[in-house]
Structure 1
Amino acid sequence: MSSSPEVRPARLDRTQRGAFVGAFIGWLFDYYEVFLLTFLLIPISQEFGLSTTESVWLVSISLISMAVGGVLFGVLADRIGRRRVLIMTVLLFTLATFARAASPNYEILLILTMIAGIGLGGEYGVGQALISEVIDPRRRGWWGGLFYGGAFLAIMLAAVVGGQVLPAVGWRWTFVISGLPVLLVIYLRSHTPESPEWARTARSGREPLRAYATAAFLVPLGKCLVAAILYFWAYYGVTTLLPKYLVSSGFSMANASWWIFFTAFAGLIGCLFGSWACDRWGRRPTLSLVMAVAAAGGLVVYLGGQSMLGSAWLLAPFFILYFGSTAPTIFGTLFTEVFPTSMRSAGVSAALQIARGTSALPPIIAGAVIGNVGYAPVFLAATFLYAGVAMWAWVFPETRGLDISAIDTYALGDARSEPTSPTRPIDHRSD
């Protein structure tokens, strides 16, 4: 492998800054709404008299609908542009969020949560494609990773609101208050620039829909799906019911929320490390490393978590676990680098959101396991899944520093020409 490229100061020009801010702010508030739901489950369940299974289905239907939205809006963004779709997704999500505040019963709330999930499903993959297409290839990992870092800020914000605001105003007004900042996102999205790379590709003609059935799309999609499914099954299996478990173990809602804040803080630190490392060391070694760290943290929690419950010592393995649980920091950049521009949004969105859709099952399984034998087996399962991602990372080609147009040449399989890059050619040795 060639020596690491120089990682230059991460300054953005006006177009790059507009694309990043427009995508980032929307992603932050949308993910905040999703994670806030884990806190809202408690008062919603009390008001509507829901069973544990019915409560978990609110989260699960959100994840399933995100898969639908990811595929739908991903394909649409490849055909009509990144900017237009990002405006559509935030409008759909915002309207559904406000409407949920007036839900008269569980069934209506479930339907509105599904609609909101469809809107959210188009957010990340399309935003990540836009950022990857406008950022300098030598800094793509840093800015692509920071984009996903909005999720950790969102979790921290949701923990504060869920622990401090929710008990004071109730779940309905929490939905209303949470929807107000998203109105700013609509304004920012209206001023977000379109991807010049997408515009260039669109001028040369759109790919027919049958192109999504070719190896250029299906092979990288398969690789990405395996990595994402392993990760999200581990992450959502552990995290979804954690606030409810902590409260049932004697924590107050406020204390439980600070625990979640702490895990998000650990994730944010891991995100910064992963974003820097994947430009410095490469996508594959960085992904493998952070997943190995997460597996180690999960194993320690499994072995001693119950005995440390209520002790400050439990903070250490939880920090290690969530510091390492930052695979999407690398996924976003890596996944955009294995699909051609004409199919990039669809590929990234489908891989991430279908994987999230399948991760509707782990919270249901975890709920049954926790009710019978406690949380420890859930952490053990997550340990094995994270270790699986650490090994699977090496099936991807190393794409660090590759120019976006060279990615098109490589991804479309043009054997007649060599990919070109301002830093280096792609490393084919993993293929």
Structure 2
Amino acid sequence: MAVVDYIQDRSRTLKPAFDPAKNPLRLWASLSLRQWGYFLVGFFAWTWDAFDFHTVTITYPELSATFDRTTKQISVGITLVLMFRPLGAATFGLAADRYGRKWPFVANCILLIIFELGTGFCQTYSQFLAIRALFGFAMGGIYGNAAATALEDCPEAARGMMSGIFQSGYPFGYLLATVFWKAFDENTPHGWRALFWFGAGPPVLLIIARLAMAETDTFQGRIPLRGARPSIGDFAEEIKLAVVRHWRILLYLIALMTGFNFMSHGTQDLFPLMLRNKYGFDSTHITLIQVTANLGGVTGGTVVGFGSQIFGRRFSIIAACILGAALLYPYTFVSGPGLYAAVFLEQFCVQGAWGVIPIHLIELSPAAFRTFVVGTSYQLGNLVSAASNSIETAIGERYPLPARDGERIYDYSLVICIFAACVFVYNILVTGIGPERRGMALSNDDLDEELGPDMVSDTWDMQQSIPARRY
């Protein structure tokens, strides 16, 4: 009966809140210069994380030729990155929650520089896989720390909009990767390697900017409650505590992030290959289409994120997923001029749903383990969806098209369409049954309850009892 009551409550609370809309310009002005500084560092860190990831997805053919491997084998490099991300998320997330956002972020960026440079110098397929696995560990630590840095000090009324802008860093990073790849592909003798070497540069600027800034106000407010810094044994105990105390909300967020990662990777990663193989588009045409798609993503993340402050987090996500599912056919089967509108609107919906996620995760996460829960749930969702590229390429090989210039090509349109449709339905269901805590005070600290000796309640129950606007 408790389960039935909960599901009925979830369905009733999907009714849009219709809170009064505020002028976006006034919301931007409500952030202080200090808050803008934190936001921009977090935004550009997330942007470059996306750039680094997509340097592989957009260079599949060149990597295949260099290492003499099939596209499916090269996609293993993507799978390894996704598989090792949770380890980095847990490591850097716990460090950021215990020691501060600043120094774990700096260490994280240093590793990104090293492994991005290393990828550009790989000479064998084995080296490529090894360095991408290490890169996955470093990349895993970015999301949780960047999201906490960017959003936890934001004024409550501006959270939805700033969350959408923050998440738009992902399609913006993809757009930058596409544009710079186009520039390097035609103007350097080093081919794909130059793109990876270039990718190691901007994190240096992020390190310099973060070193010039203090900890966020929200984190500093919790420092007196943290006590002395723990030993390695105490640190291990905190890891156990975080999992044992918050396993329900962590499992839910992992399930949510699994669907969202399948949605983004399923609609994006093989799309350039589909355009090249099935429709015979050249690199210039593909670049224009990808730029259009990512402009749609940037717009969607901002608009839907802003809308979630008015209509509610869950309602906004579900609405974007329904529209995205309806647009799948033109997205994958139209090859004429209408393709530009289709890709813009499809990624508007995909990244629009994603635009709600950063603040939704932060609001649902326990304050004392915010970076750990946000980053780890996101990256474990990535881990579950790690084989999305391999699954799609493997299924695609069952639907061959006539060979072109002696090259085998496959009907990835059909695969992407069916695969993404299933994922959209999954996301609608999981989001619909989940909790929401729009409007909660992010400065609340539940550390005394979490670390006290007589812990009996769990986070899920606590979410239903803490005074906050419930929808």
Q: Does 1:288 align with 2:318?
A: yes
Show the counterpart of 1:352: 378
Deviation at 1:418, TM superposition (A): 6.5
Show the counterpart of 2:368: 342
Name the amino acid aligned to 1:359: S
Q: CA RMSD in A?
A: 2.4
Q: Contact 2:59 / 2:192 at 8 angstroms: preserved in 1?
A: yes
Query: Among residues 236, 239, 258, which one is paired with 1:229 in the alignment?
Result: 258
Q: Does 1:79 align with 2:109?
A: no
How is 1:293-332 mapped onto 2 (pairs within 5 angstroms)?
Answer: 293-301=323-331, 305-306=332-333, 308-309=334-335, 311-326=336-351, 327-332=353-358
Q: Contact 1:149 / 1:329 at 8 angstroms: preserved in 2?
A: yes
Q: Does 1:28 align with 2:38?
A: no
Show the counterpart of 2:200: 179
Residues 109-155 of structure 1 show CA distances to partners (whole Å, capped at 9, x for unaligned) of: 22222222211111111111223321111111211221111111111
| Cα 1:197/1:110, change in 2 over 3 Å | same
| Cα 1:396/1:5, change in 2 over 3 Å | farther
Show the counterpart of 1:121: 140
Show the counterpart of 2:28: 10
Name the amino acid aligned to 2:19: S
Which is higher, the Rg of structure 1 or of structure 2? 2
CA distance in 1, matches of 2:138, 2:248: 27
Deviation at 1:389, TM superposition (A): 1.1
Query: Among residues 292, 301, 316, which one is paired with 1:262 in the alignment?
Result: 292
Secondary structure class of the residue paired with 1:204 = helix
Deviation at 1:406, TM superposition (A): 4.7
Show the counterpart of 1:196: 217
How is 1:16-165 mapped onto 2 (pairs within 5 angstroms)?
Answer: 16-165=35-184
Q: Contact 1:83 / 1:189 at 8 angstroms: preserved in 2?
A: yes
Identity of aligned residues (%): 21
CA distance in 2, matches of 1:415, 1:386: 29
Secondary structure class of the residue paired with 1:426 = coil
| Cα 1:233/1:280, change in 2 over 3 Å | same
Q: Contact 2:163 / 2:357 at 8 angstroms: preserved in 1?
A: no
CA distance in 1, matches of 2:248, 2:369: 13
TM-score w.r.t. structure 2 length?
0.83
| Cα 1:383/1:87, change in 2 over 3 Å | same
Moved more, 87-96 or 233-242: 233-242
Deviation at 1:345, TM superposition (A): 0.7
| Cα 1:280/1:257, change in 2 over 3 Å | same
CA distance in 1, matches of 2:160, 2:92: 24
TM-score w.r.t. structure 1 length?
0.90
Query: Among residues 188, 194, 212, which one is paired with 2:242 in the alignment?
Result: 212
Deviation at 1:412, TM superposition (A): 4.7
| Cα 1:186/1:295, change in 2 over 3 Å | same
| Cα 1:415/1:58, change in 2 over 3 Å | closer
| Cα 1:83/1:165, change in 2 over 3 Å | same
Structure 2 unaligned regions, length at least 5: 1-12, 228-236, 400-410, 450-456
Q: Contact 1:18 / 1:193 at 8 angstroms: preserved in 2?
A: no
How is 1:345-384 mapped onto 2 (pairs within 5 angstroms)?
Answer: 345-373=371-399, 374-375=411-412, 376-384=414-422
Q: Contact 2:43 / 2:169 at 8 angstroms: preserved in 1?
A: yes
Structure 1 unaligned regions, length at least 5: none
Q: Does 1:240 align with 2:269?
A: yes
Residues 332-367 of structure 1 show CA distances to partners (whole Å, capped at 9, x for unaligned) of: 110111112111111111111111122221110100
Deviation at 1:400, TM superposition (A): 2.2
Q: Contact 2:184 / 2:192 at 8 angstroms: preserved in 1?
A: no
Secondary structure class of the residue paired with 1:405 = coil
Q: Contact 2:364 / 2:436 at 8 angstroms: preserved in 1?
A: no
Secondary structure class of the residue paired with 2:222 = helix
Q: Does 1:426 align with 2:460?
A: no
| Cα 1:331/1:87, change in 2 over 3 Å | same
Deviation at 1:33, TM superposition (A): 1.5
